[in-house]
Amino acid sequence: MSSQVRDDDYVTGSTESIYTGKAVFYLYSCPVLAWLYLHGHLVVDPAQEYIRSGKDLDESRFSNKRSLDLTPYGKCDWVTGTQTNPVIHEGSRSKFHNDPKRAQLRHYLWAAHKLYNINAIGELHLAKGPVERIMPNDDMVIKDHQRLKDLLNSNMPEPRRIPICSGCSNQDWCWR
What pLDDT band is residue 84 in, cutting at 50, 70 and 90? confident
pLDDT (0 to 100) of residue 1: 30
As for how many domains the chain has, the answer is 1
Q: Over 90: is that where the pLDDT of 109 sits?
A: yes
Q: Over 70: is that where the pLDDT of 65 sits?
A: yes
Domain assignment present for residue 6? The answer is no
Q: Over 60: is that where the pLDDT of 152 sits?
A: yes
Among 29-33, 112-116, 164-168, the minimum mean pLDDT is found in 164-168
HEC sequence for 119-164: CCEEEEECCCCCEEEECCCHHHHHHHHHHHHHHHCCCCCCCCCCHH
Containing structural domain, residue 51? 11-174
Tell me the CATH number at 70. Answer: 3.90.320.10
Domain assignment present for residue 4? The answer is no
Neighbours of 60 (CB within 10 A): 9
Domain assignment present for residue 159? The answer is yes
Domain assignment present for residue 139? The answer is yes
What pLDDT band is residue 46 in, cutting at 50, 70 and 90? low
